[in-house]
């Protein structure tokens, strides 16, 4: 009788210990999944030959993988980008690069082609053109055709430093397609699945609109120095 009782006691104690361990494991697991929202490959996309804003030697690089046809990219450019530029690019802490994503077929390709051409022929006019093209994206029914050669030439014409004739030639000869293909390769290499995808050095943000998170990632990189 005594033996059975003590065995029962041991069984109860063991059960409590096991339940306790399970609880601890679950909590630890949850904590991990909370902190691992962002995926870090540790690898920064190569930004050489990409339009880049800011100091060449800025310690942190932020990369946007974007698409002129994507409404969230337009929204990001209007809401988050100006904050980033004011707080970090203008202060020399961050340089910002843009890589084209072609998730919306021919229109994405045409927009990217035009942007690459402007960047090659009139690099100083690139960011104005970039902003100008996004501005033309309709706020409603954005799936309807709007990126056309006419629209692009219209946007380009408003920048006096853009050589519109060269742009027309690049459309005809498709000579700049290599640059667009290079971006498409990067999209594959970095497993980009949504636009915009924002990367702070090697870390991909889960929510590109979470500016507080962008800030904290930048600050962390600034503290860590140039690793």
Q: Give the footprint of Ca ion on this chain (CB under 5 A).
A: 50, 183
Interatomic CA distance for residues 224 and 213, integer angstroms: 16
Of 212, 173, 192, 175, give the one whose Cα is nearest residue 66: 192
- Pick between residue 50 and residue 203 the one whose CB is nearest to Ca ion: 50
Distance in Å, CB of 211 to Ca ion, minimum: 25
Q: For residue 123, what is the DSSP state?
A: G
Which CB, 48 or 212, lies closer to Ca ion? Answer: 48
At closest approach, how far in Å is the CB of 71 from Ca ion? 21
Which residue, 50 or 52, is less far from Ca ion as judged by CB? 50
Q: Report the nearest approach of Ca ion to the CB of residue 66 (Å).
A: 11
How far apart CA 95 and CA 60 sit, in angstroms, is 6
Specify the residue, 116 or 221, whose C-beta has the smaller distance to Ca ion.
116
Rounded Cα gap, residues 80 and 58, in angstroms: 19
Token pair 């870390």 in the structure block, residue: 203
Q: How far is the CB of 19 from Ca ion (least distance, A)?
A: 55
**Contact yes or no for 110/147 (Cβ under 8 A):** yes
């Amino acid at each position: 009788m005594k033996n059975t009782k003590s065995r029962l006691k041991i069984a109860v104690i063991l059960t409590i210990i096991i339940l306790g361990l399970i609880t601890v494991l679950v909590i630890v697991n949850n904590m991990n999944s909370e902190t691992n929202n962002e995926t870090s490959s540790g690898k920064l996309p190569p930004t050489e030959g990409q339009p880049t804003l800011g100091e060449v030697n800025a310690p942190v690089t932020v990369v946007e993988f974007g698409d002129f046809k994507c409404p969230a990219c337009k929204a990001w450019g209007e809401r988050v980008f100006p904050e980033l530029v004011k707080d970090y690019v203008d202060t020399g802490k961050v340089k910002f690069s843009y890589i084209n994503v072609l998730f919306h077929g021919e229109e994405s390709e045409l927009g990217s082609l035009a942007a690459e051409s402007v960047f090659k022929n009139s690099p100083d006019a690139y960011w104005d053109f970039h902003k100008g093209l996004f501005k033309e994206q309709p706020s409603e029914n954005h799936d309807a055709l709007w990126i056309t050669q006419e629209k692009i030439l219209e946007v380009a014409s408003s920048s006096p430093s853009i050589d519109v004739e060269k742009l027309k030639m690049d459309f005809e000869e498709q000579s700049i397609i290599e640059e667009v293909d290079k971006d498409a390769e990067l999209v594959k290499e970095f497993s980009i699945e949504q636009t915009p995808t924002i990367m702070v050095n090697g870390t991909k943000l889960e929510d590109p609109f979470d500016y507080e998170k962008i800030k904290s990632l930048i600050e962390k990189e600034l503290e860590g120095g140039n690793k």
